[in-house]
Amino acid sequence: MTAKKVETKNLAFGDLVEIKIENQIFNGDFIKEEDNLIIVKLKSGYDVALPIDSIDNLTVIEKSAIVDKTAEKDKMHVEENADLTIITTGGTISSKIDYKTGGVSPSMDSEYYFQLSPDLKKQGKITIVNLMRKLSENMLPSDWLKIANEAYSSIKNGSKGVIITSGTDTMHFASSALSFLLNPLSAPVVFTGSQRSTDRGSTDASTNLLLSAITAKKFTGGESVICMHADLNDEYNYILRGNKARKMHTERRDAFRPINIKPLARVYMDGEIKDASTEIINKSGSTKLNGKIDEKVKMIYSYPSMGGDIIDYYIDKKVHGLVIAATGFGNLPLEDKTILNALKKAENADVPVAITSQTIYGATNRFVYSTLRETSKFGNIIYTGDMTTETAFVKMMFALGNCKKIEDIREMMQKNLAGEKRERSGVSDFLI
C-alpha cells in the first residue's frame, strides 16, 4: 500500500485547517507536526493527533496571524513597558496531553496562553516569562526563591501586577512562601492554575488566566494571593490570601478554599472586583525582597501510636526546625513517654518545634488540656494559633533564615507578618 502524503511544511501555528481522512472531516487550528502526526485543536476545545500518512486531503481555510516559535526553548513573550508579567512555572495549566504516553506533562509554549484566553490582551501589555517547567509536587524551596526573585524583578521593572501560573497541588506552599519573601509588596502577586489540562474542553485554565490578569491589574492589595474558581461555574473567582488558603479537593474546579478567613474579594468575568474585605493589605510604596530561608525543616503528622522515635530520627539528622501537625488544639499522645523524651532532646539541641492543628480550621490553644500545658513547658515549643500547617512549615524556614536564637524564632513565628495569623476567626469563616 502506498503511503499517503500531504504538504505540511507551509503550515503555521494557529492556521485554521480542514483535514479529510476517509469519510471523516476534522476542522480546527493547527498546533504542530510531531512524530508523523498533525496536532489540531478542534472547535470543541479538544486536541486530536492525526497520522499524516492517513490524511487524504488537507486544506488551509484561513492563515493565522500568530507567529509560531514553539521550537524555541524557554521562549519568552516580551513587551516593552509591560503592564503585567506572567511567570510560568509548569503544572496542569501549562500542560497538555503527551500523545506518546497518554499522560499530561508540562510542555505548553507561552504564546498558547493568548490563544487559550484571547481577552488576556485586553488587560494591557503582558510579558510572559517561562521560568521553569515543573509539576508542583516537584517544587523545592529553592524554586520559591527563583519565583520570588523573578516577581521582584518584574515589579522593579514596572509591572503593575504579577501572575504566577503553577501546579495546584503545592500552590499554597508557594503562595505562602512569597507572602514572606516579598513583604511589603507594591503590586499584587497572583497565583493561578487549573484542575483540567488546557487541551480538555472542560479546562478551567482560560477563566483562571483571565480573572488572574484582572486581579493583577485592578486588585488594591499588596499581597500574595490565589485566584481560582469559587464554585463549579465560570461566573467569578475568589481572591484568597495566599498564606490562608488550601487545596481541599483533588479535582474540583473550586478546590481552593480560604482557611479561618473570608475571601479577600470576588473577581468577575466582566472585569469587576466586588465584596472586597476590610482585611486586605494595601499596596506599599515599594517592594522588598528577603530571600533568607533555611530549608532544613521537616513536617510530622501526629497519629495514635506515633512514638518519639520519628522526632528522634530528625533530631539525629540535624534538622534545624520541625513542624508537627497535632490533633485538636495541638495535642500529642503523651502517655507514650518517648514523645516527651524526644521533645526534650529537641529542646537540648535548640531545634524549634512548631505545633499546628490537623483540623485545618480553628486554632491551637496551649491552655485547654493538661497535656498541652505539659508540652508548652519546653522552651522550644511554639504554638502557631490559626496558621495552616503548610504556612507554618514555610514560615519556619523563613524564621530560621532570619533568626538564630530560639526566642527570636518564637517571636517571629508568633508575630503576624503578612496576614497569616488572626487572633480570632468569625463563626461564618468555616467551610466557605
Task: Point out the residues that are catalytic.
Answer: 92, 168-169, 247
> Residue for cell digits 525543616?
297
> Residue for cell digits 497518554?
102
Between the CA of residue 132 and those of 138, 154, 162, 208, 226, what are the distances in Å?
A: 11, 16, 16, 20, 19
Tally of CB atoms within 10 A around 169 = 18
The DSSP symbol for 129 reads E
The backbone region for 297, taken as left when phi is positive above 0, alpha when psi lies in -120 to 50, beta otherwise, is beta
CA-CA distance, 25 to 50, in Å (whole number)?
11
The DSSP symbol for 27 reads E
Residue 285 phi/psi, 5-degree rounding, is -70, -20
CA-CA distance, 415 to 42, in Å (whole number)?
53
Burial of residue 285 (number of CB atoms within 10 Å: 0-12, 13-18, 19+):
exposed
Q: Is 263 in contact with 238 (CB distance < 8 Å)?
A: yes
Q: Which three cell numbers stand for residue 394?
A: 514555610
Beta strands at 189-192 and 273-274: parallel, antiparallel or unpaired: unpaired
Q: Which three cell numbers stand for residue 359?
A: 483540623
Between the CA of residue 213 and those of 83, 147, 200, 339, what are the distances in Å?
A: 10, 17, 22, 48
End-to-end Cα distance, the chain: 62
